Structure 1
Amino acid sequence: MITRTELEKRNISLLVQHQISHGWLRPSQLGLDKAILDATIPFRDFLLEADLHDFTRQELGPDHKVIVPAVLMHPTGQLVESTASLYQTKRGDRRVWIKNLPDIAGAGDLVLCIRRGNGLGLVNASRENLHDSLILADEASSGKESVEPPPVEPSVFPELFAKLKTVAQKGFIAAPVEGSTSVGRLLESELGIQMNSSKTADYHGIEIKSARSGSRRATMFAQVPDWTRSAYAGSGQLLNAFGSEKAGERSLSCTISAKKANTQELYLQIDRDADLLRIRQNELSPREVVLWDMAQLQDRLMSKHAESVWVEAAVQRIGDQEYFRFHRVQHTRNPRPEELIGLIRKGAVTVDFLIREAGDHGYLFKILLDELSSLFAHSKAYRLA
């Protein structure tokens, strides 16, 4: 079982606090000896978000290797030039090797990765204090490096709250589309936010979530399972195993909880020894289905919801048209990732599968709105109208 040290937790919290996108690697001794590391999901997600590399668009084989410049923070404080080699094996396994990585990290160390210029910056978060790390220097500012962390930006919640009140004063507004996403699409439109699939926050660092009044749950984030360690290797296999035919199309739409198994006999289980969240089938004779790294889910929570608003809308339907009136908002800051395990166990955080033959609609982690105050150090509700 790998648990994060207090230094590692402080270093990750520093990046989250200053909204610095990051990924991580934890090399094994075998990986260091062979100069080959698995490009883990947290690392691949970071590369994609930082616009440094997209493994899904890379052709197979070493002939299509991509080299990205990198800088390593040496324990002496020196910045060491390096490169990161990114490639896929002919079987589709994602790999990375970082030149001179053994100079700064040993087996089991947590190596944090950020974007630095047009490449990677890497620091050993198991040994170094990021407050003292030159790797965080902002190269965009005249090329000068600073040992000071970036300043904390003041919250823009008052500005956003004023805009939400203006939207609320309009009363009931016609939804632009039908379906479960209509309330969120309407709110984004009214706030002038373009719909996108980015993992970054919606409004100047604040994540915006919306739900119909009466809904008990809201989506926190979407996160695909770790297919490389799961019993089922992709959405297609899950669809074949657990889906059903609806309107001429095979689909799998269900909620999965740790409290009890659903109609597909699927349930959540926390594996504290391995630090994993598992979905299993059949409580009497359990079978593995898919899994997530708990540390990755906690990182996802911290990066996605450093500051958020959760907006509720009353619903009115006239004929075939749906209307929404936004009337309540809950403002949260400073997530407490250590609470995530307990909330999953009590059934307050669940996972929704939304899989169709036409494509995935996500693996959605949802929370009971009544439990937001349990997950965030700051949580306060306001009336909009």
Structure 2
Amino acid sequence: MPKITLSTIAKKANTSVASVSRVLKKPHLTSSQIQLRVYKAIEELNMDTSKNFKPYKPIHNSGKILIIDNQLFTKSLINIGLEQELKEKQYQVFYLQFPYNNKSDIHHIIRYVAQNAFDGIIIINDAPYLKTLVAYKNTLPPIVLVNHFSLDFVCVHFDHLLIGHQITKYLIDKSHSKIAILLNNETLTSTMLLLQGYKQALLRASIAIEPRYIIHGCFTYQHARSAVNKLINSTKSPTAIICTDHFSLNYLNKNNYKEQHHQLPDSMVLGALHQANENKAKLTKPLTISYFSASKELKYNELDSLCRINKPLFKMGQKSAALLCELIENTIKPIKRCTIINTESMFY
């Protein structure tokens, strides 16, 4: 395969070599039209440009922050927290929903950032393009990930291992030894860590891990109903169930849900609770159901009677925005760093 040079790109883009060089090295000196032509040529040539861009230098001071939001549920408490913090720092906030189909699509982010001269970027939740973005991060303004752990970026996240252990130990201390757990996307790091914490708590209490109590693929109201029905009707039904949270889901298609309440963050726990109530006659005592809440506030519904653990998403949004502001102001070194937001127990 012939080597792709700046001359090759210039010919494809119908522009000069100097223009291509400026797009890659000094994008702030080029027009959006020239950038569009050059990036389109790069994509058509399937060129890896990660080593062609000039390292980022804070030359803009535009007062603009880009938020790339990968949440299934929009306008969460994370958004409110970070928007409040950024507003106090007098930053303008711009949102981007980024559909990612192939590796060359990463150029859309790079072009958008260059054209708008953002001072910093916040990315909410894990996303498949993050692995590709790592190669380009030195050419982009400071980036902070929120609600996702990463060794490659500065990040603000929850310690899901501790959460899983904490809630399982609480149930064990309440004399439960048959504890089931409903999990969603088993490929997510947060889900895997939560499961590890659950298993560790059981093993430390000398309780054997029962594979039938570990249910994967619970995303919806109906998934949870089906799982709980199967558990209750099994020969060794559990006395307690932990419902994992949906706060880090971002790969689901909302159009797959037909009923409105299936789209809510509490859909899984509601499904589990409703099925447990229907099967109450088959239980020797009420099933203890635990779940994760994004707020300390009462919901004034049936969920208020369950035991829960609060994941303060609002605080997470505030912390991620404050951390990004510190990076922009160069008050902390832009090294790999992660900040853990502690959960708050609300068991009763």
TM-score (norm 1): 0.20
Q: Between Structure 1 and Structure 2, which shows a larger proportion of helix residues?
A: 2
Task: Give 1 or 2 for the bigger CA radius of gyration.
Answer: 2
TM-score (norm 2): 0.22
Q: Between Structure 1 and Structure 2, which shows a larger proportion of strand residues?
A: 1
Structure number with greater CO (CA < 8 Å, separation at least 6) is 2
